[in-house]
């Protein structure tokens, strides 16, 4: 759902008015702000910007969806591992 909104709808809309790089940075920052985690704001801004760049280079949202899912799976795996689950 996040990718459909941020990279499928919001990014192309903002891009029309400010260009690809500012739109990627702005939607990346909004993506981070939406997660409401000050400690992760910079990392999430980078991720959101990277996902917008992938969206721009691939021409669609399929690849950003995959990258986002892999990122979430890795984060979940690290969390699970850090809590001693096997």
State pLDDT tens for residues 5-58: 999 999 999 999 999 999 999 999 999 999 999 999 999 999 999 999 999 999
pLDDT of residue 72: 96
Vertex 13: Cα angle to 65 and 69 (nearest 5): 10
What pTM was computed for the model? 0.91
DSSP label at 36?
Answer: T
38-48 tens-digit pLDDT: 999 999 999 99
pLDDT of residue 84: 78
Range 59-70 average pLDDT: 97
What residues contact 1, with CB distance under 8 A and at least 6 apart? none
- pLDDT for 85 beyond 80: no
Select from 63, 54, 62 the least CA-distant residue to 24. Answer: 54
CA distances from 15 to 18, 44, 69 (A): 5, 20, 24
Alpha helices in 1-40 (DSSP H): 2-3, 11-18, 20-34
């Amino acid at each position: 759902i996040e990718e459909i909104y941020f990279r499928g709808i919001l990014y192309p809309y903002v891009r029309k008015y400010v260009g690809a790089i500012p739109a990627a940075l702005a939607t990346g920052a909004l993506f981070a702000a939406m997660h409401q985690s000050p400690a992760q704001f910079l990392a999430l801004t980078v991720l959101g910007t990277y996902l917008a760049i992938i969206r721009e280079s691939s021409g669609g949202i399929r690849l950003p969806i995959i990258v986002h899912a892999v990122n979430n799976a890795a984060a979940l795996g690290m969390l699970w591992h850090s809590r001693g689950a096997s």
